[in-house]
Structure 1
Amino acid sequence: MTPDTPARTVLALTRIALGWIFLWTFLDKAFGLGFSTPSERAWINGGSPTAGYLSGVDGPFGGLFQSLSGAAWADWLFMIGQLGLGLALILGIGLRVAALTGVPLLLLLWASSLPQENNPFMDEHLIYALLLVGLALGGAGDHLSLSGLWRRTPIVRRAPILA
């Protein structure tokens, strides 16, 4: 076990902060907490988490993303992704799986925002994707987390990729 260092603490806090971004997106869209999603458009009130954003996508992939707008399977995948990423990052468990699933989600979100408004190609989605990979590869789940308990579960012992 490596002793705690300021760098490990900063990485753990960064992991938790990134997790909160994903978890907050899930909570706001699911329950319409009034930040980006009003209560009448909440998922629990019959709203679609993907319809509002994807229906207005322009750019080179606009037609593709508009065709996904409001599809139940897209809503479910998006919401499961947001919840799963948020919990994995906050709890510090399953970071490899989070990176493997989160990077494609973030790349799709990046592609849906092309062309970028303030930069030719770079935006927060690409930064988050790189950060997600770095956190998973850098062992950021080993500090301020439940990873020790998680690694001892039977499912993780049988499938170590889940650690």
Structure 2
Amino acid sequence: MSSATSVTYEEEIVTSSAARKVLAALRLTTGFIFLWAFLDKTFGFGFSTASEKAWIHGGTPSQGFLGHLDPAKPLTGFFSSIASPVTDVLFMLGMLGVGLAVMLGIGTRVAAWSGSIIMALMWLAEFPLITGEDAATNPLIDYHVIYSLILVVVALTYAGDTWGLGRWWKSLEIVQKNRWLI
């Protein structure tokens, strides 16, 4: 890199074509995790949700999760007490909204905050992580933490600009006036 340019080595790496494509792939796969959670819990495709427990068949997505927490965990009482049809709707809208926003590459800042809050609450509901036969592989860090960090990376690196609608989204007047919508 010549001394005449003001781009640093680190900026060149983050803006390289290969890095942009990897970030886009990370964005799409993570977005699909959230979108799939919504779809499977809504329609009961039989992966994590059986058909008879699907939301469209009267299943209760958040109540099911919150109602089956280990009673020995310190926050089970709190999380069990908030389980309701309202938390079902909020959880499902959150999964759909985060999944679509991240996959489309729009509103990634809002999706990063929303998705990270959902993941943090789910992490807290299961804390401390399982020990024994069904033990987690790490006592503190699990996929909830990793997904939260990925969402933040996606938002901070404008990963929605590659293979997504991010550039178009950022050009909208409402987004120009309200940068938090990026």
How high is the TM-score relative to the length of structure 2? Answer: 0.82
Q: How many percent of aligned residue pairs carry the same amino acid?
A: 48
Consecutive unaligned residues of structure 1, counting only runs of 5 or more, are none
Q: CA deviation at 1:4?
A: 5.5
**Partner residue of 2:22 out of 1, 10, 27:** 10
SS at match of 2:128: coil
Cα deviation per residue 1:37-71 (whole Å; 9 max; x = unaligned)?
112111112211112211111211111111223x1
CA–CA separation in structure 1 for the residues paired with 2:143 and 2:41: 20
Compare 36-45 and 87-96 and name the one that shifted more: 36-45
Asked whether 1:40 is paired with 2:52, we answer: yes
Asked whether 1:106 is paired with 2:119, we answer: yes
Asked whether 1:57 is paired with 2:69, we answer: yes
Output the aligned Cα RMSD. 1.6
Q: CA deviation at 1:84?
A: 0.6
CA–CA separation in structure 1 for the residues paired with 2:127 and 2:51: 29
Q: CA deviation at 1:110?
A: 0.6
CA contact (8 A) 2:105 2:160 kept: yes
Amino acid at match of 2:143: E
Compare 50-59 and 153-162 and name the one that shifted more: 153-162
CA–CA separation in structure 2 for the residues paired with 1:51 and 1:38: 15
Consecutive unaligned residues of structure 2, counting only runs of 5 or more, are 1-11, 131-135
How high is the TM-score relative to the length of structure 1? Answer: 0.91
SS at match of 2:61: coil
Cα deviation per residue 1:74-118 (whole Å; 9 max; x = unaligned)?
011100110011001111111111112111111001111112122
TM-aligned CA distance change 1:143 to 1:4, over 3 Å:
farther
Amino acid at match of 2:55: W
CA contact (8 A) 2:63 2:85 kept: no
Cα deviation per residue 1:13-58 (whole Å; 9 max; x = unaligned)?
0010000000000000111111111121111122111122111112
> Counterpart in 1 of 2:8?
none
CA–CA separation in structure 1 for the residues paired with 2:171 and 2:39: 29
> Counterpart in 1 of 2:6?
none
CA–CA separation in structure 2 for the residues paired with 1:81 and 1:6: 31
Q: How does 1:87-126 map to 2 (within 5 A)?
A: 87-117=100-130, 118=136, 119-126=138-145
Asked whether 1:67 is paired with 2:81, we answer: yes
CA–CA separation in structure 1 for the residues paired with 2:142 and 2:157: 23
Amino acid at match of 2:81: S
Amino acid at match of 1:60: P
